[in-house]
A and B are shown apart, each in its own frame.
Chain A
Amino acid sequence: MRKLTQRLRGAATLSLLAAGVSVPTQAQDTLRLARSLDSVHMLQMATAAALTALDGTHVRMERLYPDTVLMLDGKLRLLSGATLAPLTRAATALADPMIRTRAGGAASRITGMTLAVWEDSALRAANALGVSSQLGAASGDERVILRDAAALADEIEQRLQHQIGATGHPVFMSWLSNALPRAPAADAEWRAIRLGLVSSPATVARRCHDGSLAACRETLGLTVSSDPARAWFDSAGRRAVVSDLKGRIDAQVPARCLAGSDSACIALIDGNPLFAGSRHPPGSFGARLALVQVAFELGETGSLERLASSADTPSAAIVAIAGMPLDTVVARWQRRAHDGGISSQNSTSVVALSAIGWFLALGTLATRSSRWR
C-alpha cells in the first residue's frame, strides 16, 4: 500500500511538471495561462483526492494532509486546495456545533463521507467555489456557492442533514420537495405564505388562515381528503378554479360550470386531468418548508436523531423533528402564517435615516457653494 501511495505521489509530481511545461510563455495569453493553471490545480486536487480515498478505504491511517479538513471526529473529510483550507476550516467550525446539536447520536450514521471544495479561475473570478462529493463537475452533485465561510458552512450543513435525516424518508422528502431547512423562515417567506393562503380559491386555505387547525392540516397535505372538490372548495371557489383555466382549454369544457352548474364544476375538478392541480393540497411547498422550519425551531436539540428513527410519513417526521404533538407544531405555524412579518416594506430605518442624512448633507453642501461670492 505504501508503494501505491508513493506511485500516486510520483504520478502527481510528473503531472504537475508536465502541466507546468505546457504553460504558455506568452504572458499576454491570459486565458490559456488560466486554463493551464486550472489543469495543474485540478491534477493536484485529483491526486490528493485519490490519496485521501486510499487512506480512507484501505489504510485507515491517521495521517492528515495539510489541505484536508476533518469534521465530526473524522467522519467527514473535506478535501480542499491549500488556498481554500483556511476557509474550509472556518466553515467546519461554523457547521460543526449546529450539526452536533441537531444530530446527536445520529452523527454516527455518517461514515467515510468526503466532500471536495475546489475552485478554478472562472469560479475565482466570480468569487465562488465548487462543492461536490467528488472533485469537479463530473460528480453530478456539484454546487457552486459564494466563496465565503458562512456559505460553505450552509452547504456542509445541508449535505450532512440530508445524509442523516433524508435517507430512509423518501415519502417525507417528496412531500417536502425541498432540502431539510437549516434556519427559520424569514419574514418575507411568511408574507408569501399568508398571501398564498388568502389568495387561494380553496376555502380550506382561508379557513386555515382564520385559525382552523384541521383546515391547516389539509392545506399542508398532512391529512388526505377523499373528496377535495367538495371538501376544499365552496361553489364560488370551484367556479373560480374553472374560470382561471378557461382560456387554456376548449371553451365547451367549462361552459356548463361557468353558466352556473355547480355539479358540472365538481365533475370537472374531480375527473378532468386538466384540473389535477386543484386536487392537490392548496398549501404551497414554501408553506410545507416553513412548517418543517417551525418543527426544527421547537425541537432543535436531537431533531435529526429523532427524525432518523421516525416513520416515513410527513406527520410522523414533523412530530419527530419537533418532539411535540403535530397540532402544537401546526398551531405555531398557523400563528406565524397569520401574523408573521406584518410590517411595511416601504422603507427600512436604514433607508429612512440614509435619506434624511443625504438630504441634510446635500442641503449643507448647497449653502457652501461660492456661486455669487
Chain B
Amino acid sequence: MWNAILGVQWKRSRIAALLAALLAFSIPFLSIQLLRVGPEGGRAAFMVAAMQSMGVAYALVAAGTGLAYGMLAWSADRRTRHVYALSLPVTRTRYAGMRFGAGALFLLIPALALLVSCAIAIAIIQMPAGLHAYPFSLTLRFLLASAVAYAIFFAAASITPRTAGIILGILAALVVVSFALSALSIRANPLVAVLDVLFGPAGPLSVFTGRWMLIDA
C-alpha cells in the first residue's frame, strides 16, 4: 500500500517537485550573477552582501515548496471525497501517516537540486581568502524549512472545517484584542507575543529567520 500511496503522491506533486527543484537550483546561480557587477575593491564584503541579499529567496522557495506539497498531499482524497481512503483496511492514523511520509520524501528532490547547484556555483566562482562556503548547512536548512512548512500546511489541510473555524476565530480574536489594546494605549500586545513565540528560537518558524548564507566570513 505504501508503494501505491507513493505513486499517487508522485503523480499529484511531480509538477510542483520539478518546479521547486528548478527554483532551488537557480538561486545559487542568481547569487553569483550578482557578483559580476561588484566593485574593484572590497570584493569579499560585496560577495557576502550579495549572498545575504539572496537569503530571502531560499526562505521563500522553501516555504512555497512546503505549501505546494502540503496542499497537494490531500488533493487526491479530496477529489474522491475520501472514498478510496475509507475503503482501505487501515486506520486513519496509519493512512495519514503514510500520506505525510510520502510527501515528506519528495522534499528531498528540491533539496538535492539545491545541493548540486551550490556545489557547481562554488566551483565556478573564485572565492577570496578568508571566506568560506557552506553548501551542506544551507541545504540542510532549506530541507528543514521546507519540511516545517510542509508539516504546517499538511496539518492545516487535514483538519476538519470546525477546527479550522476555531483556529481562524482565535486568530481573529488576537487581532481584535491587539487593536483594542493599542487603541487604549495599553502596551501589552498578545499578537506580538504570539509572533515572538512563533519566530523565537524554539518556535516553528524560527528556521525561516536569520541569515541564509552560501558564502560567509
> Which residue numbers of A lie inside 8 Å of B, CB to CB?
125, 191-192, 194-201, 206, 209-210, 236-237, 239-241, 243-244, 338, 342, 344-348, 350-352, 354-356, 358-359, 361-363, 365-373
Contacts and interface: CB of A to CB of B under 8 A. Distances in A.
A342 B132 contact: yes
B145 A355 contact: yes
Nearest to A197: B130
B85 A206 contact: no
Interface of B is mostly: helix
A347 B207 contact: yes
Contacts of B45: 195-196, 199
B173 to A, nearest CB: 21
A338 B129 CA distance: 10
A345 B202 contact: no
B159 A358 contact: no
A236 B213 CA distance: 29
Q: Which of B43, B97, B206 has the most CB of A within 10 A?
A: B206
Contacts of B144: 347, 351-352, 355-356, 359
B96 A367 contact: yes
Contact of A198 (B44, B96, B134, B148): B44
Contact of A359 (B41, B93, B147, B206): B147
Interface string B143-156: 01101101110110
A371 B158 contact: yes
Q: Which of A237, A352, A371 has the most CB of B within 10 A?
A: A371
B134 to A, nearest CB: 4
A346 B137 contact: yes
Given A239-B40, A355-B147, A368-B93, A347 B152 contact: no
Contacts of A210: 129
Given A236-B40, A244-B39, A346-B213, A358 B204 contact: yes
A368 B203 CA distance: 22
A195 B42 CA distance: 9
Interface string B201-217: 11110110011110011
Contacts of B206: 351, 354-355
Q: Which of B44, B97, B140, B163 has the most CB of A within 10 A?
A: B44
A345 B201 contact: no
Nearest to B48: A195
Sorting the interface of chain B by its residue count into under 10, 10 to 19, 20 to 34 or 35 or more gives 35 or more
B85 to A, nearest CB: 7
B160 interface: yes
B194 interface: no
Contact of B96 (A196, A346, A369): A369
B147 A351 contact: no
Given A244-B42, A366-B158, 16 more contacts: A198-B130, A199-B44, A199-B45, A206-B129, A237-B41, A240-B41, A244-B39, A344-B138, A352-B207, A358-B151, A359-B147, A366-B151, A366-B154, A366-B155, A367-B100, A368-B93
B86 interface: yes
A367 B92 contact: yes
A355 B207 contact: yes
B140 to A, nearest CB: 7
Nearest to B216: A345
Contacts of A348: 201
A345 B55 CA distance: 12
B40 A198 contact: no
A365 B129 contact: no
A369 B96 CA distance: 9
A371 B159 contact: yes
B82 A372 contact: yes
Contact of B129 (A209, A244, A342, A347): A209
Interface in B36-82: 39-46, 48, 82
B131 interface: yes
B154 A345 contact: no
Query: What are the 5 closest A-B residue pairs judged by CB atoms, nearest first?
Result: A240-B41, A198-B130, A201-B41, A344-B137, A199-B45
A237 to B, nearest CB: 7
Contacts of A194: 130, 217
13 contacts: A195-B44, A196-B45, A198-B130, A201-B40, A240-B39, A240-B42, A346-B211, A358-B151, A358-B204, A359-B150, A359-B151, A362-B152, A370-B160
B214 to A, nearest CB: 9
B12 interface: no
B210 to A, nearest CB: 7
Contacts of A369: 92, 96, 155, 158-160, 163
A201 B41 CA distance: 5
Contacts of B137: 344, 346-347
Nearest to A190: B217
Interface in B83-112: 85-86, 92-94, 96-97, 100, 104
B128 interface: yes
